[in-house]
Amino acid sequence: MKILIVGKNGQLGKEFTKRLGERRPEWLINKKINCESVGRVECDIANTGQVLELFENVKPDIVINCAAYNFVDRAETDYVGAYKVNAVGVKNVAYACKKHKAFLVHYSTDYVFDGEKEGLYTEKDEPNPINQYGKSKLAGEILLKEETEYYLIFRVSWVYGEGKNNFIYKLLEWAKTQKYLKIAYDEFSTPTSTATIVDITLRALQSGLKGLFHLTNSGYASRYEWAKEILNAKKIDKFIYPVSKEIFNLPAKRPGFSAMSNESVARELGLDIPDWQCELRNFLGECS
């Protein structure tokens, strides 16, 4: 079996590359899996010709698309750039998968929702994104479904892993230079590790799961609660002042509550997905 990872330089792509390489889980060790990873230098997914050439050379059985435009605020003005990657690029990859009879795994976001629901979002809830990033990701979902029936779409939220493009890295950097931190108390979702995403994705592929699912760690938190948990785990004594997200006056609107239920994928796979606090402490190396 040949697996192609697209977007190898992002935090999720790096986790997949490691897990399918030197950190392959025990149940996968004896599987005959060849894995190839590419980044934007090797293939710009917005370029149809480059995508088709890549598929001709690799001939993958499974494609894991980790490539994404994740700059939420920048997307408000650079919406063309966001749509090129998150919509057109996804369509190109899906088209190539259909042409080469490859199964596609793709990742979307909780930002396809507007945050107005009272309760956890499920796969049955109607998306209604309120920023350009969310709209571009929803467009990618729609275009993917139009191209191929052989797919897994996982909506994820507040993803963190190896790298600098996540809240944990930024928070720890702020803590080095600021007397105290202002963190939003009125923005809720679920911190989710790349380790959890990779674990569940590989189990889903093993089980032959298809369709659209929400994939997060269990539970939910505000940005403020998440920040407190991070600093406590790292034993950093820094005062955090809870504030409304509105005071930051960011270009892109954020949903107030976009936490999603992972019950559907957990039930389908017969798994207990770790809660976000313990997974966070595992990631930070502080889990007792």
Positions marked catalytic = 133
| Terminal C-alpha separation, the chain | 38
CA distance 285 to 279: 10
**The residue type at 17:** T
Q: How far apart are CA 63 and CA 71, in angstroms?
A: 23
d(CA 17, CA 5): 8
Which residues lie below 8 Å from residue 34, measured CB to CB, with a gap of 6+? 1, 2, 3
Instruction: State both tokens at 197.
Output: 């995403």
Residue 180 backbone class (left: φ over 0; alpha: ψ -120 to 50; beta: rest): beta
Q: CB neighbours of 32 closer than 8 A, spacing ≥ 6?
A: 1
